[in-house]
A and B are shown apart, each in its own frame.
Chain A
């Protein structure tokens, strides 16, 4: 149609990661495609108090830097050795060196030189100091292994328990 030039290009839409990934591994010769978590419904808990009075926790998939686990720096190749397999927590009042080399992020178009893009703790401290919310005393690291069963039966309950210990009202989850 003559009017098509007024629209954005078709490819300029959110990437279909599931399809792209399935096609990718099929082309590599693996015919046992990963099955992503899928539910038709979702739970909903309206906030119980105003945000300024709420304790907010940060949940991350980033890993603590482990000097003995190979290259985890900006631009590092995918590093499965840097994965972690149990929930970890850290004190939100101090800075932490977290990395994402264990995750399949976009290594062509991003370089992982600025940890605030995956671990916004310093920014959350600033917002909390401005009264936007109360920052929970700990953040929590969620393992990213391929076992959804472990996530459902072990990791998620563990993170919930730690949030309850800290009397958390709300959580910001930042997957990479």
Chain B
């Protein structure tokens, strides 16, 4: 998605990315980025909280209007939870048993096959 933002921007369309994976978006390098420190899947606010969703969209628009140069990142002040312990869970092998790692490997092998078949069918493999 960062690549799309860069392409639009280079061709005259101002962009703002709303996202939750700070390192990945900043590694790519985008013009404007509103970062919400939330679990992936909640780039546009917290579930079932219209107020935080409106706050997030409003802030993204302000970033779009006011950024003075590229690679502008603004971090939303909203918190997902009182503590940040949820951050320790995502794809964290230190928190997985060897059985869980083996199960995930088997699952990923299956997913890869499905994705490869899909890409071939779509002509992009």
Interface residues of A (CB under 8 A from B): 8-9, 11-21, 23-24, 27-30, 36-48, 51, 59, 61, 77-78, 80-81, 83, 85-86, 100, 103-106, 108-114, 116-120, 123-124, 127, 132-133, 142, 144-148, 150-152, 155-157, 159-160, 163, 168-176
CB distance from A87 to the nearest CB of B (A): 10
What is the minimal beta-carbon distance from B31 to any residue of chain A, in angstroms?
5
Main secondary structure on A side of the interface with B: loop
Given contacts A11-B88, A117-B45, contact A37 B3 (CB under 8 A): yes
Given contacts A44-B69, A83-B115, contact A28 B105 (CB under 8 A): yes
Tell me which of A15, A24, A117, A152 contacts B7 (CB under 8 A): A152
Q: Can you list, as one digit per residue, whether each of B30-56 has a CB less than 8 Å from chain A (1) or not (0)?
A: 110001011111111111101001101
Question: Is the pair B28, A37 in contact by a Cβ cutoff of 8 Å?
Answer: yes
Interface string of B80-120 (1 = CB under 8 A from A): 10011111111111001000010011011001101100110
Other-chain residue from A29, A40, A47 in contact with B29 (beta carbon distance below 8 A): A40
B4 near A36: Cβ-Cβ < 8 Å: no
Neighbouring B residues of A17 by C-beta, 8 Å: 21, 23-24, 40, 90
Instruction: Decide if A44 touches B23 in the complex (CB within 8 Å).
Output: no
Report B59-94 residues with CB < 8 Å from chain A CB. Answer: 60-61, 64-65, 67, 69-71, 80, 83-93
Q: In the assembly, what is the distance between CA of A93 and CA of B92, in Å?
A: 41
CB-based contact A174/B101 at 8 Å: no
| A30 contacts across to B, CB distance below 8 A | 108
Residues of chain A within 8 A of B70, CB atoms compared: 41-44
Of A119, A144, A168, A174, most buried by chain B (CB within 10 Å of CB) is A174
Contact of A173 among B4, B21, B42 (CB under 8 A): B4
Q: Given A42-B71, A86-B122, are A106 and B41 neighbors across the interface (CB < 8 Å)?
A: yes
**15 residue pairs bridging A and B, Cβ less than 8 Å apart:** A14-B22, A18-B23, A20-B91, A36-B27, A37-B28, A42-B6, A45-B31, A83-B115, A106-B39, A106-B41, A116-B50, A119-B44, A142-B1, A171-B14, A175-B21
